[in-house]
Amino acid sequence: MKERWKACVAPQRLLARLLASWCFVNILLLGEGSFDAVSYAFSLPVWRYAAAWAGLFLTLSLIQLILKRLQTDAWLLTAGFIGAAVGFLAQKQEMWFCVTLLLAACALLCWLLRDDKLGLTRIRWRKGVTIAVTAAAGLIACGLIASFTCMRQAAYCTPNFDFGIFCNMFYNMRKTLLPLVTCERDKLLSHFAVHISPIYYLLLPFYALFPSPYTLQIGQAVVLASGVLPLYFLAKNKRLSPKLTAVLMIAYALNPVLFCGTSYDLHENCFLVPLLLWMFFFFEAKKPVPMVLFALLTCMVKEDATLFVLFFGLFLIFSRREFRSGIALSVIALLWFGGALFLLSRYGDGVMSNHFSNFMYEDHGLLGMVRVILMDPGYVFGQILDEEKFLFLLNMLLPLGLLPICSRKVSQLLLLFPFILENLMSDYVYQHSIDFQYCFGALACLIYLAVLNASELKARTTRYLCLLAAIASLFLFTVNGWPKLDSTYTKYTSYQAEFQTIDEALSHVPADASVKASTFFVPHLYERDEIYDVSSENETDYVVFDMRGRYADETTALRLKYIAEGYTIHYDSPGHVLILENPSISEEGV
């Protein structure tokens, strides 16, 4: 007993216990008011705060005496700090505050990992546990994303651009096998005239069985969550320990880029995460045939997806000296991009180079952009970083513990070039925001670099950075992802009566009629040959207006215009939906 007591009052353990008690006190008092005000400390009685702290300290001391073999002080300090930090971040969802707490987490990790205070090296860990964690990570990622996006659809939060487009496209694909859509460019055309994305056909069999927008939302969630499989095999191939692999799985499941990138619903870019990770794995596993197969599948995502295949090919040539594979992938990427560029310029709407308008000069197009990059590096570097992009950079790198840039080989940084070119160099605001799908390809490259570097760094450094990745993912998800999920859930549960009223109103639009509709109604009226945005110039049988608050205010002039042209009210649900009928329908009825 004397030895237990001596260990219990050791200075380091006392300090850890005091700090753990302090953290738990703050967790208990989180509901007492807003901590983000100097008056908060004076709103709490000092005696109550001191009594709670002392009581918790004594309780934790008793736990330490009873569980002598466990590192209870270190573990309780870790749990208390993470719990308090998450609680603070849930109230103050601010990025710089999150960075400050992460700096504190870095200091805590340094102290905990020195002398292995958590006893991590002594924990027995079987392969089956890692497999279970991997499966759980996939289910968590899938559940979070599917819940969020399906609630968005049910709560009338999904707009025509872009979810309504894909709802109408899949409706037509199920009928004709062609990716036709009317609400993308205000006319009937193939979506492939805008983006060449045959990868969508992988979702078509599931949509054919369950034709619903929810199938598309859940399909995207499954696709993104499936990235845990190639990540697991990649980590295993690079001989990361089962413990570190499990930690990386937790970081993947909570990665805010993965979740927030679905904030505007389904996009073909979601396929980039698993496809690129499989391509990377098959290279590491020395299986060239499936590697090339997944490179081709990656090219099928979208014309600019070839950028990732091209730079991976260059990476193989200059970093790995794998000339045959590198040249093959580079040629495939260049040929595919050249063919896509020809098809889009000849038969489609052309390549969307407006995303790089800051590099466009007069009518020189993409070749002009190349000229700017080669001849004016000062301008290029000036476009890469500002305060907004720096925060974006932190959101991309911190959930991976900064591992992607901790490389011993400069040549490996070639895999950062697609991230720099597509996300940092563009002045198109959506390209450097984690709330949009443009980050998925870069995320896959960064994950691959994280695994490569984790396998090459010293064991202690790798352990530190992997744990930092998991903590950063949790903190940043609390700041970026949780508010979206929470607000969507609140809207979904609080306005059920309103949604039922809208559902009832939209049911009055005949199934075979042509329709123009407000943006949030298009994904609910998509099952028809002609569906357009409400501002369309096309003549349709019905025009459906969203009459909720500001959405109604935005279309006041348009409604008056239609009424002046003789459109009559087909159905009116005040404050919800107004359906106008084309006068030609009334005349036909007469």
What's the mean per-residue pLDDT of the chain? 91
Section 429-444 average pLDDT: 95
- Which pLDDT belongs to residue 347? 82
Which of the residue ranges 118-127, 366-375, 423-432 has the most confident prediction, judged by mean pLDDT?
423-432
Section 381-405 average pLDDT: 94
- Which pLDDT belongs to residue 590? 41
The answer to whether the pTM exceeds 0.75 is yes
Section 436-464 average pLDDT: 95
- Which pLDDT belongs to residue 58? 86
- Which pLDDT belongs to residue 59? 86
β-strand partners of 572: 578
Q: Does residue 5 carry a pLDDT above 70?
A: no
Exposure of 297 in the CB half-sphere (CA atoms within 13 A): 19
- Which pLDDT belongs to residue 10? 64
Q: Residue 39: exposed, middle, or buried by beta-carbon count in 10 A (0-12, 13-18, 19+)?
A: exposed
- Which pLDDT belongs to residue 72? 82
Domain ranges of the chain: 2-124, 128-351+385-491, 499-589
Section 135-157 average pLDDT: 98
Q: Does residue 159 carry a pLDDT above 50?
A: yes
- Which pLDDT belongs to residue 16? 85
- Which pLDDT belongs to residue 588? 55
Own/partner contacts of 351-354, CB < 8 Å, gap of 24 or more, are: 351/303, 352/194, 352/195, 354/428
Q: Does residue 3 carry a pLDDT above 90?
A: no
The three-point CA angle 219-224-229 to 5° equals 115
Contact 479, 102 (CB under 8 A): no
Can you say whether the dihedral through the CA atoms of 530, 531, 532, 534 is positive or negative? positive
% residues pLDDT > 90 (the chain): 74
Using DSSP, how many helices (H) and how many strands (E) does the chain show? 27, 7
> Where residue 353 falls among pLDDT bands split at 50, 70, 90?
low
Q: Which residues of 338-364 are buried (b: 16+ CB within 10 A; e: fewer)?
A: eebbeebeeebeebeeebbeebbeeee
Tokens, residue 42: 């004076």
Over residues 313-329, the pLDDT tens digits come to 999 999 999 999 999 99
> Where residue 551 falls among pLDDT bands split at 50, 70, 90?
very high
Over residues 209-263, the pLDDT tens digits come to 999 999 999 999 999 999 999 999 999 999 999 999 999 999 999 999 999 999 9
DSSP helix/strand/coil, 516: strand
Over residues 475-514, the pLDDT tens digits come to 999 999 999 999 999 999 999 999 999 999 999 999 999 9
Over residues 78-114, the pLDDT tens digits come to 999 999 999 999 999 999 999 999 999 999 999 999 8
- Phi, psi (degrees; rounded to nearest 5) at 205: -55, -40
- Which pLDDT belongs to residue 8? 58
Q: Does residue 539 carry a pLDDT above 90?
A: yes
DSSP helix/strand/coil, 458: coil
> Where residue 363 falls among pLDDT bands split at 50, 70, 90?
low
- Which pLDDT belongs to residue 4? 54
- Which pLDDT belongs to residue 65? 72
Residue 160 is classified by DSSP as: I
Over residues 56-79, the pLDDT tens digits come to 888 887 877 776 656 788 889 999
Over residues 191-209, the pLDDT tens digits come to 999 999 999 999 999 999 9
Element (H, E) at 47: helix 46-66
Residue bearing the bigger pLDDT, 124 or 269: 269
Q: Does residue 587 carry a pLDDT above 70?
A: no
- Which pLDDT belongs to residue 380? 86
- Which pLDDT belongs to residue 408? 80
Nearest to 183 by CA among 161, 200, 198: 161
How many other CB atoms are there within 10 angstroms of residue 162's CB atom?
A: 19
% residues pLDDT > 70 (the chain): 95
Which of the residue ranges 13-27, 32-46, 216-230 has the most confident prediction, judged by mean pLDDT?
216-230
CA distance 327 to 312: 10
Section 559-571 average pLDDT: 93
